[in-house]
Structure 1
Amino acid sequence: MSALPAEVPYRLTRRGVDVAQALDLSGAGRATAEAVLFLRECESQGLRVAWRAAGSPSYDLGVLRHLPPPLEMPGCESELAAWRAGYSYGSLHHRRGPGFVTVLDRRQRGTAVRLTLDHPGLLAAFLRLHEPAPLDAVDPEAVDLLVAERLVLAAGGWAVALPPRIRRWPVPCTAI
């Protein structure tokens, strides 16, 4: 198993990962980008995650429904219920090729969108945002396009790519 980001305190259990403190989903800055990165990497590795959310989101939580939902999210019970109902492993993921990235997005029930990022500026921004970055460190036009396609979360001056790179496929792999 690849190492998980160290910015979030966690412990591995027999059943997955337990996060020690509530993760900030407010969108107020770097902490939210780091939380999304951590959850994305857990999803990438097919790990079950027991975590709690903190903060009132300043963005549409629907962009995170491909990630494991929290155990609790104070003040956002209806959003949490929608998240739990809409979550499905692998509903958003990407695959890399030479000079391109293909993204499959099935977060919206009944739809499947396949996008290929092969424009050098978009591809560079997407790959740069695999790790959280300040917005001023990435081409703003590329970020705007990636945000519009719901492939990047940009909030509080920070941005991070949303689609995980799935490393653990269920059997059969065509189920995704």
Structure 2
Amino acid sequence: MVQCVLRRHYAADTAELPGMGLGTLTVNATGSAEAARGAYESGARHALLRQPVDLDGDDPAGTIAALVLVRDLTSYGVVVDWRLVHSDATAAWRRLVHLHPPRELLAPGGEDALSQWRASHCIGKCFHRNGPGFVQVRDWRTGQLRKITIDEPRHRAAVPQLLEGARAQDIDQEVLANYTAAGLVDMLGTHAWWMPYQVRRWPQSHTAV
């Protein structure tokens, strides 16, 4: 279960002003994507996750629910105040750099890794868009653009399954291996989740992309 405190303004120091609070959002193992959409449409522009997100924990489904919430709030441009726990700070920021940077990265070397994350983060770092008969991913996380077009039916069919996380055993194993090798799917224990967020609007003119 993920608990998230919603506020109307991007800046945390406005939290005590009248009318800024929008209450607490509670998300179970599924429903994070819909919850993020609802939060944005309600006027939320700042979200505080109450519990740390522990990549080394023993609840992969719960951790993925939190990551999906952060992923989709990021896609809407909502400021996310969250804390991340992981044993490998460098690995964490490099694969999650497209997400809104956490307030704390609780790991050996976490402060240096978080500084690099903040310096490298930008809107549109890793996203996907749905077209007629294809899914396209644009991934800048390594510093170079990777454009991946997915049109093979089995691979396309797996994307909706993975959007909110799924048990790895429920996904076509060849497809899962391909997505993991490409860095589009992240494995947490026995579960997997789709990392790119859906583009809501182009970060620059459509003529440039």
TM-score per shorter chain, which class? 0.7 to 0.9
Within a 5 Å distance, the mapping from 1:30-109 to structure 2 comes to: 30-57=61-88, 60-61=91-92, 62-75=94-107, 76-109=110-143
Displacement after TM superposition at 1:89 (Å): 1.2
| 1-structure distance, mates of 2:208, 2:117 | 21
AA aligned opposite 1:138? I
Find the aligned partners of 1:42 and 1:137 in 2 and give their Cα distance. 26
Greater Rg, structure 1 or structure 2?
2
Q: What is the match of residue 51 of structure 2?
A: 21
- Structure 2 counterpart of 1:40, one-letter code: R
Q: 1:8 aligns with which of 2, 11, 14?
A: 2
Unaligned runs of 5+ in 1: 1-6
> C-alpha deviations, 1:59-116, integer Å up to 9, x for none?
932111100111111222332222222211111111101221011111122x111110
Q: Please, which of 145, 158, 167 is the counterpart of residue 125 of structure 1?
A: 158
Letter in 2 for 1:22: P
Residues 89 and 105, structure 2, Cα contact 8 Å, conserved in 1: no
| d(CA) in 2 for partners of 1:27, 1:120 | 34
When the two chains are superposed, the root-mean-square deviation of aligned CA atoms in Å is: 2.3
More strand per residue: 1 or 2? 2
Give, as a single letter, the amino acid of the residue that structure 2 aligns with 1:33: I
Q: Which has the higher relative contact order, 1 or 2, with Cα contacts under 8 A spaced 6 or more apart?
A: 1
SS in 2 for 1:11: strand
Q: Could you tell me which runs of 5 or more consecutive residues in structure 2 were left unpaired when the two chains were aligned.
A: 11-45
- How far did 1:56 drift? 2.6
Q: Residues of 1 paired with 2:78 and 2:208: CA distance?
A: 18
Is the deviation greater in 15-24 or in 164-173?
Answer: 164-173
Percentage identity across paired residues of the two chains: 35
SS of equivalent to 2:142: coil
* TM-score, normalised relative to structure 1: 0.85
Q: Is the 8 A contact 2:124 2:203 kept in 1?
A: no
1:144 aligns with 2:177: yes
